[in-house]
């Protein structure tokens, strides 16, 4: 099934309130016509990106903090087509100094995610999950902090820029990234999942990765690279040369647009529209182009 057909199918199926955005490559394919499918590539597929649940958060930015994750699970399970996988781009839990409480929160998240009716779940840490214990609890509950995998012709790389509390990737991981990518053809579709932005989005709000440009420099040699990340609790799209970077909404509280207010305090809760500014995303992936079509699915509801 082609991506456009799937989108039409979703619209016909009545998935309401959706917003379509397109990556640069998709835009290019629209402008110049869709090129012939690349030989040897698999058919298209889609995955869902969840991010920044901050399970365990208690505060005014979301007085219904236990509602959003179960609701997101329901929304994914209600999608008219089952995604090939769900990726969770970090901050599954809100941080705590108490190691036992951290593990309790991770156990609860794991129970909720177990209700997802999807073939595969790909998890990664945020600084709230991993920075205070360098990822020890996260690895116990959810597995490695960095890894890569292949799916239907796309090479996916999960980078860890959070388990070091300085929010860096580090020399060893950048070497690992170089070695991981080296065997791949330069026209291979590469997708990177990371928590913090790899580029300097807003360094004075800590919306950056101190050595992220080193990773971007490595990735730059591949022609089809797309990065999906979290951390900033809002939809955001950015290009570093030919590399597209897409931030996802949070499942707990939205943060302000970069520089739109004096600090990065969460946007106030809107009791008339609980869940406003929150959401998840599905990503239609056509490895033959390659092209990525992003569909934002809001969590907002009427009170």
Partner 1 sequence: MRFAALFLALLAAAGDPGERVVHVVARRFTYSPEVIELQLGVPVIIELTSADRDHGFSVPDLGIRIDVEPGKTARVRVVPEKVGTFDFHCDVFCGSGHEEMAGRIMVSAPVASGGNSGH
CB of 84 to partner 1, least distance (A): 32
CB of 127 to partner 1, least distance (A): 5
Tell me whether residue 234 or residue 289 sits nearer to partner 1 (CB atom): 234
Phi and psi dihedrals of 260, rounded to 5? Answer: -80, -15
Is 260 buried (19+), middle (13-18) or exposed (0-12) by CB count in 10 A? exposed
Nearest Cα neighbor of 224 from 156, 141, 281, 143 is 156
Task: Select 100 or 303, whichever has its Cβ closest to partner 1.
Answer: 100
Q: Which residues bind partner 1 (CB under 8 A)?
A: 94-97, 127-128, 131-132, 162, 165-167, 200, 203-206, 210, 263-265
The span from the CA of 3 to the CA of 46, in Å, is: 9
The backbone torsions φ and ψ at residue 278, rounded to the nearest 5 degrees and listed phi first, read -100, 160
Q: 290: cis peptide before it, omega within 30°?
A: yes
Nearer to partner 1, 137 or 154 (CB): 137
Q: How far is the CB of 277 from partner 1 (least distance, A)?
A: 17
Distance in Å, CB of 169 to partner 1, minimum: 14
Nearer to partner 1, 105 or 295 (CB): 105
Nearer to partner 1, 208 or 285 (CB): 208
Among 147, 128, 161, CA closest to 229: 161
Instruction: Please report how close the Cβ of residue 165 comes to partner 1 at its closest, in angstroms.
Output: 4
Rounded to an integer, what distance in angstroms lies between the CA atom of residue 107 and that of residue 247? Answer: 26
- For partner 1, the closer CB: 146 or 295: 146
The least CB distance from residue 240 to partner 1, in Å, is 17
Q: Which residues contact 288 (CB under 8 A, 6 or more apart)?
A: 37, 38, 41, 44, 153
């Amino acid at each position: 099934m082609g991506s456009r057909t799937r989108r039409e199918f979703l619209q016909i199926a009545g998935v309401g309130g959706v917003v379509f955005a397109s990556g640069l490559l998709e835009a290019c394919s629209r402008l110049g016509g869709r090129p012939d499918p690349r030989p040897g590539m698999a058919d298209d597929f889609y995955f869902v990106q969840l991010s920044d649940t901050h399970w365990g958060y208690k505060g005014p930015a979301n007085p219904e903090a236990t509602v959003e994750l179960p609701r997101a699970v329901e929304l994914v399970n209600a999608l008219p087509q089952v995604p090939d996988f769900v990726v969770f781009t970090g901050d599954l839990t809100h941080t705590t100094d108490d190691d036992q409480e951290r593990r309790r929160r991770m156990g609860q998240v794991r129970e909720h995610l177990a209700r997802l009716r999807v073939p595969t779940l790909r998890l990664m840490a945020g600084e709230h999950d991993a920075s205070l214990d360098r990822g020890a609890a996260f690895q116990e509950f959810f597995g490695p902090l960095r890894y890569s995998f292949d799916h239907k012709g796309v090479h996916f790389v999960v980078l860890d820029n959070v388990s070091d509390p300085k929010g860096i990737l580090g020399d060893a991981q950048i070497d690992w990234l170089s070695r991981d990518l080296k065997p791949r053809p330069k026209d291979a579709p590469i997708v990177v999942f990371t928590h913090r932005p790899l580029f300097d989005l807003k360094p004075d709000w800590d919306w950056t990765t101190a050595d992220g440009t080193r990773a971007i420099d490595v990735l730059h040699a591949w022609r089809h690279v797309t990065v999906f990340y979290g951390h900033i609790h809002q939809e955001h799209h950015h290009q570093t040369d030919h590399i597209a970077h897409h931030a996802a909404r949070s499942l707990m509280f939205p943060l302000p647009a970069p520089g739109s207010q004096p600090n990065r305090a969460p946007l106030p809760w809107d009791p008339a529209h609980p869940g406003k500014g929150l959401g998840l995303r599905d990503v239609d992936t056509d490895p033959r182009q390659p092209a990525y079509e992003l569909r934002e699915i809001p969590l907002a509801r009427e009170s």
